[in-house]
Amino acid sequence: MTGTIIFVVAVVVIGAILVGMYNGLVRLRNQVRNAWSQIDVQLKRRHDLIPNLLETVKGYAGHEKQTLENVVKARSQAQSATGVEAQSMAEGALSSALGRLMVVVEQYPDLKANQNFLALQEELASTENKISFSRQHYNDSAMVMNNKVESFPSNIIAGMFGFKREPFFEIQDEAEREAPKVQF
Amino acid sequence: MWEAIRANKIRSRVLISAMGGTLIALGAVFGAVYHAEAGAAVGAVFALGIWGLLVLVAFTGGDKMLLMSAGAKKIEKQDAPRLWNIVEEMTIASGLGSMPDVYVIDEDAPNAFAVGQDPSRSAVAVTRGLLRRLNRDELQGVVAHEMGHIRNLDVRFMTLAAVMLGSIVLLSDVFLRSLWFGGGRRRGRGGEGGQAQLILVGVSILLAILAPFLARLLYFACSRQREFLADASAARFTRYPEGLASALEKISRPTSGKVGRKGANRALAPLYIVRPEGFRSLTGMFSTHPPLERRVSILRSMGGGAGYAAYEKAWKQGGGEGSLLDARTLSGDQSLSARQGTPEPETKKEAQETVREVLDVFDRLAGFLILGCACGVRIKVPEGYAKPTVPCTRCGRENPVPQAAEPEAATAAATGAATYRRKSGAWESFRCPCGRNVQISPAFKGEFKKCPACSRKIKILQPD
């Protein structure tokens, strides 16, 4: 009799622990996915900002054709890129094109004093920050997830239900690694 | 990070139940003083009632009340785009589900705080003085610190603890007052068990005085620990400890003289990023915040790291006892390195000042004499200027030009003891033996004037 009770209690307790582990893993996986989608949101934001920025710059520095065209080209490439690798490469190219544009802008004091441009500059700087912070958060979440997937005892549950390691978001492209951060 | 939050939760529960127990015990003892049999139970229920009521108030509109009492106004993006963006950035970095509301307090003292019941319903408030003084990286550090409070569930805990502390204080207060005013009634009943009653009254008075004191001690100790934790979180979110360090340093610098604190009250004090002006600067057990210098030096000695492990190590080096974060958080934390600061363009004013300083140096080299007029204008007098005074271009005041109006006796220069006899009671200037022009105001009545350049003391003689 006592033996049965102990057995039942043990089964219930172990069952509860397993369910808890499973739910924890699900929560972590969703967190990682959410963090990933955040990166996309911010990248898109940057694409949306660029036409406005170019419009403002054109008014003052229209003859810097090459630089402006480079940004436009980099933007459309970034928008059409698919797959993590291609995307991060295209985004890297866009970052450096924007960086060069900002260097050019330095030579136009009137433009630098333009209220509209200042506002755009802040938006762009903030978006760059948001992109890197969302990457950072993604990597943090992926790390927690990976720790859980690989360490005992949660790795048993992870193996049973097919929870996998999440890849870290690394900067893949050498050019992006060296790309000048957009600085003002 | 998640483990740190869990540890925080457990610690909070222990503290809240300890305070709750104290509250109930207090109620029971106070009740017993009034009625020997049923008093204890009634008192305990009464104490719980007070607490429940306050908790209800705190949780339904407590955050709004706190914000209102601090004079904070809710803003939208267009009101302060940079602040708004930074809050957005930190929301992403901290992984909070939703962005906190942003409030601005119309006050010159640089400070900030966060309120809210849970991470999905929270608010960050900063003062205008803070917005004006800090650059982007610094503001980011401060906002990250507040986000750390929200993420670590400090805001909810602090609200609960503050309410608990409030109830204990209130209860003790009510009891002591009623004892004072209602003493006669009870004495009239007298007779039965007078001795025991007297002891009970003594004990309860002691409790009424001690309990709020102890509760406060506990509350403040927790709040200090949380400041460190929030600093660690801020370093981790921004990957740039220097931002917060430099912000804290700027905030602590008494730039604008006596700084107002119309918004801050005693309940709010532990919520702010730095102790609001006007609260006694106790560094001991009653302090709500750890000393700023210590926080800054910890942030600065993280050795290029930005993770919890780096903060913990720096914290221990800075004299921290025990451990700030639990082992699981630390072992799971990657080694994170800090990023580079964002270069800020020199603001116009600063650039102007630099230019002026450089020009001044050239002018001095060219033999110009630079006089500071009392109205603030700096007058540059060319070498061959003949007249004894020069009119100020702004206020028209005639400034006497030191005609090599040497301190009496050239030999004095050699000995270092110089004297200067004033010609009149007006603004005057003379040349110190070191070559610096020293100005004396009409109000100057002292015997010695210290040269600001060589700090030599020059004897001043009143006019004949």
Q: Is B337 inside a domain boundary? A: no
Helix (H) or strand (E) holding B430: strand B428-431
Predicted confidence at residue B283, as pLDDT, reads 43
Average pLDDT in the B135-143 region? Answer: 91
Structure tokens at B176: 């002591």
Residues B315 and B443 in one domain: no
Mean pLDDT of chain A: 81
Predicted confidence at residue B85, as pLDDT, reads 92
CA B231 to each of CA A137, B141, B143, B227, B321: distance values in angstroms, whole numbers, following the listed order: 18, 9, 11, 6, 17
Average pLDDT in the A58-85 region? Answer: 81
Residues B240 and B386 in one domain: no
Q: Do A143 and B334 touch (CB under 8 A)?
A: yes
Q: Do B1 and A140 touch (CB under 8 A)?
A: yes
pLDDT band at A125 (very low <50, low <70, confident <90, very high): confident
Most confident of B325-339, B386-400, B410-424, B439-453: B439-453
| Chain A CB contacts of B136 below 8 Å | 125
Q: Do B343 and A183 touch (CB under 8 A)?
A: yes
Q: Is B207 inside a domain boundary? A: yes
Predicted confidence at residue B274, as pLDDT, reads 66
Residues B19 and B134 in one domain: yes
- The alpha carbon of A165 is separated from its chain's Cα centroid by a whole number of angstroms, namely 18
Q: How far apart are CA B216 and CA B203, in angstroms?
A: 20
- Nearest-10 Cα torsion for A90, A93, A98, A99: 150
CB B165 within 8 A of CB B153: no
Tell me which chain A residue has its CA closest to the CA of residue B137.
A129
Q: Is B11 inside a domain boundary? A: yes
Predicted confidence at residue B285, as pLDDT, reads 46
Is pLDDT at A12 greater than 80 in this prediction?
yes
Would the annotation count B192 as a binding residue? no
- The alpha carbon of B440 is separated from its chain's Cα centroid by a whole number of angstroms, namely 37
Predicted confidence at residue B188, as pLDDT, reads 44
Residues B407 and B391 in one domain: no
pLDDT band at B423 (very low <50, low <70, confident <90, very high): confident
**Cβ count near B234 (within 10 Å):** 32
Is pLDDT at B375 greater than 80 in this prediction?
no
Chain B within 8 Å of A142 (Cβ-Cβ)?
Answer: no
- Min mean pLDDT across B61-65, B163-167, B246-250, B382-386 is at B382-386
Average pLDDT in the A2-26 region? Answer: 89
**What is the interface pTM, i.e. ipTM, of the complex?**
0.76
Is pLDDT at B279 greater than 90 in this prediction?
no
| Chain A CB contacts of B237 below 8 Å | 133
Predicted confidence at residue A114, as pLDDT, reads 80
Nearest to B440 by CA among B431, B317, B449, B407: B449
Mean pLDDT of chain B: 73
Is pLDDT at B228 greater than 80 in this prediction?
yes
- pLDDT for B49-102, tens place per residue? 877 887 777 777 767 777 887 788 899 888 888 899 999 999 988 888 788 999
- pLDDT for B237-274, tens place per residue? 888 888 898 888 888 765 444 344 444 445 556 666 66
Q: How far apart are CA B274 and CA B270, in angstroms?
A: 8
Structure tokens at B418: 């110089």
Average pLDDT in the B346-374 region? Answer: 63
Q: Is B366 inside a domain boundary? A: yes
Of B76, B89, B107, B146, which is the active-site residue? B146
Interface of A with B in 106-135 (CB under 8 A): 119, 122-123, 125-126, 129-130, 133-134
Q: Is B341 inside a domain boundary? A: no
Total domains present in chain B: 3
Query: Angle, nearest 10°, between helix axes B39-69 and B154-189?
Result: 140
Predicted confidence at residue A48, as pLDDT, reads 86
Residues B156 and B203 in one domain: yes
Chain A within 8 Å of B89 (Cβ-Cβ)?
Answer: yes
Q: Is B97 inside a domain boundary? A: yes
Residues B421 and B369 in one domain: no
Active site residue B277: no
CB B86 within 8 A of CB B139: yes
| Full residue range of the structural domain in which residue B370 is found | 347-398
Residues B318 and B411 in one domain: no
- pLDDT for B192-210, tens place per residue? 556 767 777 777 778 777 7
Predicted confidence at residue B64, as pLDDT, reads 79
Tracing tokens 């589900």 back to the chain, one arrives at: B97
Class of domain A25-178: mainly alpha
Q: Do B1 and A141 touch (CB under 8 A)?
A: no
Tell me which chain A residue has its CA closest to the CA of residue B88.
A130
CB B179 within 8 A of CB B205: yes
The amino acid that residue A20 corresponds to is G
Would the annotation count B289 as a binding residue? no
Considering only residues B149 and B193, tell me which one the structure prediction assigns the higher pLDDT: B149
Last residue of a domain, one of B332, B367, B383: B332
Shortest Cα distance, chain B CAs vs residue A157, angstroms: 20
CA A136 to each of CA A162, B99, B145: distance values in angstroms, whole numbers, following the listed order: 25, 17, 17
CB B450 within 8 A of CB B456: yes
Instruction: Kindly tell me the number of DSSP H helices and DSSP E strands found in chain A.
Output: 7, 0
Residues B390 and B406 in one domain: no
